[in-house]
Amino acid sequence: TEHVVIAGASLAGLHAAEALREYGFGGRITLVGAEPHPPYDRPALSKRVLTGRLSADDTGLPRSRDLDAQWRLGVAAQGLDRQSRTVHLADSSSITYDKLLIATGARARSWPDPAEAALDGVFGIRTSDDARALAARLAARPRRVLVIGSGFIGSETASVCRELGLEVTVVERSPAPLTGALGVPAGIAAARLQRAHGVDLRTGTSVLALEGDDAGRLCRALLSDGTALDVDIAVVALGAIRNVEWLDGSGLAVSDLGAHCDSFCRAIDTNGVPDDDVLVAGDVACWPHPLFDEGPLAVEHWDNAIRQARIAAATMLHGPVRAHTALPTFWSNQFGVNIKVVGVPSRADQVAVVQGSVEDGAFVAAYGRGGRVVGALAVDTPRALDAYAAMIAERASFPPVLNAADGPDPVRV
Ligand code: FAD
């Protein structure tokens, strides 16, 4: 292999490049990134950057070594021709590769009405530019912030607003926050926590429309329950969309879940055949995980991006030897609590509190599917998760048996 091209210059792209050098690759590496910025720390954006404790300019990711790589920043990959091993770029130039890594991640789902989305005061939060702009507006102390959607990023944003002493209304279509990732019981605990911190949380409700004043500034939001809210700022936190459009016509298998690959990170073509020269890693990837076999797994988390990038680098150099079988893990900080997750709670059909209590605010919940442990959530008890990670890996039966005398009562979700 002479020339490795990495499309997407963020967490997965950087770690793949570092791993290639660590594993002794001496050829050329080119990183192509749509954003003008070198790789930066996205998790900090909805936490320390929004509070103002960290400048968006200071979020650059540390480098473990000199990469001796070429950086093509501010230019997106626009097309892939696998026959000629060519990546076409947005500036009409093209690059040929011996091995290609697809690491184009995901982007924020934008507000569906483009005119409303363009109102001054409507923000997304995925890039450092988004966070820089939003942090500046929060520092100017808006009267009321509306957060649309209460997944992790929406909840973290609401938490920061309360920390800053700002009035915040969260509108969530589901019956509770975080239910998509963690299910209803944990969501109910999250709702209690948010309200205790002064969040005006409206669940089971949607935002129907955003309205602007004559100057094009956001001023009002209309909700499905008939209320109208006066708001200065709306943060759209409706989840992410994988950046796979540039792969149209490449013959690779792509879907809403991302670019499909095998457990060695080799891209799969539409006939189901892996391409040895095109690898996939990070938020853009989905792949069959041996422990979660109900279809391809797509994971939008930090740890996964790094691990998968390192596997992709190993496959580039040595072929399909190391498989990506690590358990997904995830953390979040909000409303003064530390949340850690292992496994895939979103695929569970049962959940039980197995340690502590939801009322006390420190607890562990285990998640089951088909009578097996598939995930665990720890709230303010981070060290508890190792035992559950082992149970997930061993396909232990659910509910987990910790202390035979007082086993947990599972509930359906
Ligand atoms: P991305 O970081 O999405 O990077 C993809 C890059 O590719 C982007 O820079 C993009 O501009 C670029 N790109 C896109 N299309 C093209 C193209 N056609 N050509 C070239 N370049 C392209 N995870 C956690 O585990 N814990 C957290 O607390 C946490 N907090 C988060 C908070 C926020 C606000 C966000 C946005 C994410 C958070 N995450 C968290 C998720 C974590 O940041 C992602 O899992 C990680 O960034 C994935 O890295 P990636 O390199 O796969 O993709």
pLDDT band at 404 (very low <50, low <70, confident <90, very high): very low
Q: Which conformational region is residue 263 in: left (phi greater than 0), alpha (psi within -120 to 50 degrees), or beta?
A: alpha
Which pLDDT score is estimated for 64? Answer: 83
Lowest mean pLDDT among 17-26, 86-95, 296-305, 359-368: 359-368
For residue 99, name the pLDDT band (cuts at 50, 70, 90).
very high
Ligand 1 atom closest to the Cα of residue 11 is 51
For the CA of 240, the closest atom of ligand 1 is 36
> Of all protein residues, whose CA lies closest to atom 27 belonging to ligand 1?
43
For ligand 1, what atom is nearest to the CA of residue 76? 19
Residue nearest to atom 29 of ligand 1 (CA): 43
Confidence at residue 194, expressed as pLDDT on a 0 to 100 scale: 97
Distances (CA, A) of 66 to 17, 21, 28, 302, 303: 10, 9, 13, 22, 22
Of 42, 93, 333, 339, the residue with max ligand 1 atoms within 8 A of its CB, to mutate for a pocket test, comes to 42
pLDDT interval class at 293 (50, 70, 90): confident
User: Can you give the pLDDT at residue 406?
Assistant: 47
- Torsion 214-217-223-224 (CA) sign: positive
Residue 413 has pLDDT above 80, yes or no: no
Q: Which of 65-69, 171-175, 234-238 has the lowest mean pLDDT?
A: 65-69
pLDDT band (50, 70, 90) for residue 38: very high
Residue nearest to atom 38 of ligand 1 (CA): 43
- Can you tell me the distance from the alpha carbon of 154 to that of 48, in angstroms, rounded to the nearest whole number? 15
Q: Is the pLDDT of residue 165 over 70?
A: yes
Substitution site in 104, 238, 265, 284 for ligand 1 pocket (most atoms within 8 Å of beta carbon): 104
Rounded to an integer, the average pLDDT of 37-49 is: 96
Closest ligand 1 atom to Cα of 45: 34
Q: Which residues line ligand 1 (CB under 6 A)?
A: 7-13, 32-35, 42-43, 45-46, 76-77, 103-106, 125-126, 153, 243, 246, 282-284, 300-303, 305, 330-332
More confident site: 400 or 342: 342
Centroid of ligand 1 to alpha carbon of 218 (angstroms): 28
pLDDT of residue 411: 58
Tell me what pLDDT residue 83 has. Answer: 97
Mutation to probe ligand 1, out of 150, 182, 243 (largest number of atoms < 8 A from CB): 243
CB-based contact 340:386 (threshold 8 Å): no
- How many of the other CB atoms lie within 10 Å of CB of 13? 27
Q: What is the average pLDDT score of the chain?
A: 95
Q: What is the mean pLDDT of residues 4-27?
A: 98
ipTM strictly over 0.95? yes
Q: Taking 70 as the threshold, does the pLDDT of residue 335 lie above it?
A: yes
Predicted TM-score of the model (pTM): 0.96
Q: Which atom of ligand 1 is nearest to the CA of 299?
A: 45
**What whole-number distance in Å separates Cα of residue 117 and Cα of residue 112?**
7
Q: Is the confidence at residue 213, as pLDDT, over 60?
A: yes
Percentage of the chain with pLDDT > 70? 97
Atom of ligand 1 nearest to the CA of 34: 21
Length reported for the chain: 413
Long-range contacts of 42-46 (CB under 8 A, 24+ apart): 42/10, 42/11, 42/126, 42/302, 43/302, 45/125, 45/126, 45/127, 45/128, 45/130, 45/131, 46/125, 46/131, 46/153, 46/156, 46/157, 46/160
Question: How far apart are the CA of 11 and the centre of ligand 1, in A?
Answer: 7
